[in-house]
């Protein structure tokens, strides 16, 4: 290692760590770690390889530092983020824009030099009194065309531990990268801690993405979505890499759906956070590959996908034995799990919607909590936060697909797009073709906001491919990349739109939580040409008889014609209203592919013709 780096590092780390770093023989990595040390000034540095000892060390440190506390069940711990640090901070997340580079007005950005100066000033000495952990991970399976090497420096053992559960080891992988291989870098500090061990300087929370250097800075925050570099921070860098190289980096689950015989058909699905992504991927009897981020590439004329991650950072609210039996079972057994921002009482975790009585007092993200306690604005503090989560490796789940680490990925036959839509779209429909699906289903996702990001919940917002929070290229280019994908494969996957959140006139949900299993099986049959559909103005709809048979087979339930008509009637007026909103939304964007306007205009003509002929609400039987 060059003396410029050893001089900085020798005082901070033992021989083993120094040797571990040196053995990588990558000057870029040495320079990154030395810069992080010089800037953040930790008391000591631990460089971790992929070894079981180093992983155990990080796990132990998370407890020693008080970032995690053991719970009653062996392997379970709890971590709390600060009261105002419970979700992704969109406002403080910015791209650092080099001179002459434009990403479009939609993206939150700041001038690069000024941004670097600001975030580096917040990181200056931020690790004083703390240890820095250097970790190596691989996004996607190792040694595959999908793999991306990553280096994380953090002063949070919780972040480093979470990454062990969520990502594949990458130390050995990085050794094979070569001097020109691309890798991502993440530097995080929780910053100054308060007496509760949570980030004190929340007003100085920053997540700055340096697209020139493939690097993300994160400071004065602990919440996973802001700090776990390999998750949403890496997704932003990956979207840019995918754009350069002609593939797609998506906010998508990936799962195998069982069909007749021994058939397994792979689907990806993009829903905004808290809209049912994990619970779909986790449906009992099916195979989960991933629940959050997928890379999609054209390989030998086929769309193939991998899970970028190897674990789940999932929402715990409403996980109970009835609705989510697979994950509920996992969360109540021994095994390595980090619970975050739940309620702890008697060393046991409790959360809203768990299907058991929640104690009236305990410890939660607000400190000592009891029923009825309010925040400074007079709002009741819930026992667990709505965005409380669990972190677990996929291998701990009984339904994990054995192809999780297949370096060639799995072939994708269907894509689902959906959002929280209480009054417009039917529960499931199929696009007429690829472009119709990309534009009217993916790019047009509109969803009511949730607790997964800071800010008010329940507001209707567009969220393109559910990836909009993470887009790092102009929106028009992103849509064009999707449209172009069809030309790279022999048969593009079928595209579907799902809506689990439709309500009736009385304001009640029209579907049970498990109904999505039926929609999934219908889509699987459609992919194989085994069921007919009804042509509607916004897509192809299931027939009553087919759903009735599937409800019986999958859920053992009678599905009434009345329910079908209520759920699958076309709300023509509402669909036209959405097209109006879309016109405003897209109208504000530069450089949209012309096909967007053409496709939406055709959809409008079909809806208007139907309205003229049959009115504002049209039964699927009248189409
Ligand atoms: C999401 O909010 O989409 C998540 C969790 O998957 S986070 O890590 O916050 O992005
Ligand atoms: Mn997500």
Q: What pLDDT shows up at residue 24?
A: 97
225 CA to centre of ligand 1 in angstroms: 5
* Separation CA 621–CA 260 (nearest Å): 28
Residue 446 has pLDDT above 80, yes or no: yes
pLDDT surpassing 90 at residue 459: no
Structure tokens at 177: 């990268």
* Residue whose CB lies within 8 A of the most ligand 1 atoms, among 227, 313, 315, 453, for a mutation test: 313
Cross-strand partners of 418: 498
Residue nearest to atom 8 of ligand 1 (CA): 225
Predicted pLDDT at 273 = 86
d(CA 314, CA 362): 22
Q: 588 pLDDT exceeds 90?
A: no
Q: Which two structure tokens, joined as six digits, stand for 425?
A: 């779209």
Q: Rounded to whole angstroms, how far apart are CA atoms 346 and 356?
A: 15
For ligand 1, mutation pick of 230, 292, 308, 468 (most atoms within 8 Å of CB): 292
For ligand 2, a single-atom ion, which residues have Cβ within 5 Å? 273, 292
pLDDT band at 448 (very low <50, low <70, confident <90, very high): confident
From 232, 251, 467, the mutation candidate for ligand 1 (largest count of ligand atoms within 8 A of CB) is: 232
The ligand placed nearest to the CA atom of residue 166 is 1
Note the pLDDT of residue 128: 97
Q: What percent of the chain has pLDDT over 90?
A: 94
Do residues 412 and 493 make contact, with C-beta atoms less than 8 angstroms apart?
yes
* In the predicted structure, residue 295 carries a pLDDT above the cut 90: yes
Identify the architecture of domain 313-396 in CATH. Answer: Beta Complex (2.170)
Mean pLDDT of 44-49: 98
Domain ranges for the chain: 3-65+84-246, 249-310+403-622, 313-396
- Decide yes or no: CATH 3.90.1310.10 for domain 249-310+403-622: no
User: Could you tell me which of 614, 542, 540, 539 has the C-alpha nearest to residue 573?
Assistant: 614
Residue 313 beta carbon below 6 angstroms from any ligand 1 atom:
yes
Do 369 and 300 meet the contact criterion of CB atoms below 8 Å apart? no
d(CA 391, CA 542): 36
Atom of ligand 1 at shortest range from CA of 273 = 3
Residues 332-370: tens digit of each pLDDT: 999 999 999 999 999 999 999 999 999 999 999 999 999
Ligand 2 centroid to Cα of residue 250, in Å, is: 10
How many whole angstroms separate alpha carbon 195 and alpha carbon 180?
A: 45
pLDDT attached to residue 452: 76
With cut-offs at 50, 70 and 90, classify the pLDDT of residue 147. very high
Number of the ligand closest to the Cα of 233? 1
Catalytic residue among 20, 275, 330, 400: 275
Cβ of 225 closer than 6 Å to ligand 1, yes or no, is yes
Residue 453 has pLDDT above 90, yes or no: no
pLDDT digits (tens, 9 = 90+) for 93-124: 999 999 988 888 889 999 999 999 999 999 99
User: What average pLDDT does range 59-73 have in this prediction?
Assistant: 98
Distance 584 CA to ligand 1 centre (A): 28
Which of 101-110, 255-264, 373-382, 561-570 has the weakest average pLDDT? Answer: 101-110
Q: Whose CA is nearest to atom 3 of ligand 1?
A: 273
For ligand 2, the distance from its centroid to the CA atom of residue 346, given in whole angstroms, is: 31
Nearest CA to ligand 1 atom 7: 225
Distance (Å, whole) CA 474 – CA 586: 12
What does pLDDT average to over the chain? 96
Alpha-carbon dihedral sign for residues 287, 293, 297, 299: negative
Percent of the chain with pLDDT over 70: 100
- Indicate which atom in ligand 1 lies nearest the CA of residue 232: 10
Q: Which atom of ligand 1 is nearest to the CA of 251?
A: 3
> Does ligand 1 lie within 6 Å of residue 229's CB atom?
no
CA distance 596 to 442: 12
Least distant ligand from the CA of 452: 1
Q: Is the CB of 311 under 6 A from ligand 1?
A: no
Question: Cα–Cα distances in Å, from 302 out to 141, 142, 441, 493, 580?
Answer: 18, 21, 22, 9, 36
Residue closest by Cα to atom 9 of ligand 1 = 225
User: What is the pTM assigned to this prediction?
Assistant: 0.97
Q: How far apart are CA 539 and CA 541, in angstroms?
A: 6
Q: Is 452 in the pocket of ligand 1 (CB under 6 A)?
A: yes
pLDDT tier for residue 136 given thresholds of 50, 70 and 90: very high
User: Is 231 close to ligand 1, i.e. is its CB under 6 Å away?
Assistant: yes
Give yes or no for a contact between 427 and 568, defined as CB atoms under 8 angstroms apart: yes
Give the mean pLDDT of 22-49: 98
Structural tokens at position 532: 């007919």
- What pLDDT was estimated at residue 590? 84
Considering the segment(s) 3-65+84-246 as one domain, its CATH architecture is 3-Layer(aba) Sandwich (3.40)
pLDDT surpassing 80 at residue 457:
no
State which ligand 1 atom lies nearest to the alpha carbon of 231: 8
Section 185-208 average pLDDT: 97
Using pLDDT thresholds of 50, 70 and 90, give the confidence band for residue 89.
very high
Catalytic (active site) residue 48:
no
pLDDT above 80 for 464: yes
Residue with CA closest to ligand 1 atom 1: 273
Band of residue 578 on the pLDDT scale cut at 50, 70, 90: very high
Q: What are 154's strand-pairing partners?
A: 133, 188
In the prediction, which pLDDT does 409 show?
A: 98
Residue in the structure block whose two tokens are 């069940």: 73
Estimate the share of the chain in helix, then strand, then coil, as percent rounded to the nearest 5. 35, 25, 40
Q: How far is the CA of 128 from the centre of ligand 2 (A)?
A: 32
């Amino acid at each position: 290692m060059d003396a410029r780096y050893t001089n900085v590092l020798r005082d901070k780390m033992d021989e083993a760590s120094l040797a571990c770093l040196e053995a990588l023989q990558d000057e870029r990595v040495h320079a990154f770690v030395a810069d992080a040390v010089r800037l953040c000034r930790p008391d000591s540095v631990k460089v971790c390889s992929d070894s079981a000892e180093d992983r155990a060390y990080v796990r132990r440190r998370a407890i020693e530092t008080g970032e995690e506390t053991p719970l009653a069940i062996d392997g379970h711990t709890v971590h709390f983020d600060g009261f105002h640090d419970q979700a992704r901070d969109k406002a403080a997340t910015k791209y650092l824009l080099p001179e002459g580079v434009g990403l479009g007005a939609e993206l939150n950005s700041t001038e690069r030099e000024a941004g670097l100066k600001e975030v580096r000033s917040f990181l200056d000495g931020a690790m004083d009194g703390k240890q820095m952990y250097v970790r190596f991970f691989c996004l996607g399976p190792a040694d595959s065309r999908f793999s991306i090497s990553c280096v994380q420096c953090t002063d949070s053992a919780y972040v480093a531990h979470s990454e062990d559960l969520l990502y594949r080891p990458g130390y050995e992988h990085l050794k094979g990268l070569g001097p020109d291989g691309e890798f991502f870098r993440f530097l995080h500090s929780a910053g100054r801690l308060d007496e509760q061990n949570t980030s004190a300087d929340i007003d100085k929370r920053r997540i700055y993405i340096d697209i020139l250097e493939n690097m993300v800075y994160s400071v004065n925050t602990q919440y996973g979505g802001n700090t776990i570099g390999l998750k949403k921070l890496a997704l932003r860098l990956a979207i840019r890499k995918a754009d350069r190289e002609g593939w797609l980096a998506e906010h998508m689950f990936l799962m195998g759906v069982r069909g007749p015989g021994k058939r397994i058909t792979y689907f990806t699905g993009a829903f905004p956070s808290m809209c049912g992504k994990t619970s779909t991927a986790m449906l009992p009897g099916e195979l989960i590959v991933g629940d959050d981020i997928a890379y999609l590439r054209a390989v030998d004329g086929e769309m193939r996908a991998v899970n970028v991650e190897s674990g789940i950072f999932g929402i715990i609210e409403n996980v109970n034995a009835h609705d989510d039996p697979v994950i509920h079972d996992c969360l109540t057994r021994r095994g390595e799990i980090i619970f975050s921002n739940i309620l702890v009482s008697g060393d046991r975790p409790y959360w809203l919607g768990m299907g058991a009585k929640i104690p009236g007092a305990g410890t939660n993200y607000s400190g000592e909590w009891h029923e009825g306690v309010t925040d400074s604005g007079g709002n009741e503090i819930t026992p667990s936060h709505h965005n409380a989560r669990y972190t677990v490796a996929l291998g701990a789940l009984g339904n994990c697909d054995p192809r999780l680490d297949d370096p060639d990925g799995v072939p994708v036959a269907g894509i689902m797009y959906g959002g929280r839509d209480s009054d417009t779209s039917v529960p499931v429909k199929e696009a007429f073709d690829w472009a119709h699906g990309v534009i009217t289903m993916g790019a047009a996702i509109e969803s009511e906001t949730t607790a997964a990001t800071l800010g008010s919940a329940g507001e209707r917002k567009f969220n393109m491919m559910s990836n909009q929070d993470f887009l790092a290229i102009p929106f028009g280019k992103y849509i064009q990349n999707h449209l172009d994908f069809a030309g790279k494969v022999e048969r593009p996957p079928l595209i579907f739109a799902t809506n689990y959140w439709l309500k009736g006139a009385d304001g009640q949900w029209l579907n049970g939580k498990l109904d999505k299993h039926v929609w999934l099986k219908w889509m699987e049959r459609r992919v194989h040409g085994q069921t007919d559909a009804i042509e509607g103005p916004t897509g192809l709809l299931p027939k009553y008889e087919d759903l009735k048979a599937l409800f019986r087979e999958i859920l053992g339930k009678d599905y009434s014609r009345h329910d079908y008509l209520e759920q699958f009637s076309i709300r023509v007026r509402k669909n036209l209203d959405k097209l109006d909103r879309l016109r405003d939304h897209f109208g504000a964007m530069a450089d949209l592919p012309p096909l967007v306007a053409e496709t939406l205009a055709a959809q409008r003509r079909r809806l208007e013709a139907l309205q003229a002929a049959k009115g504002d609400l049209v039964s699927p039987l009248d189409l």
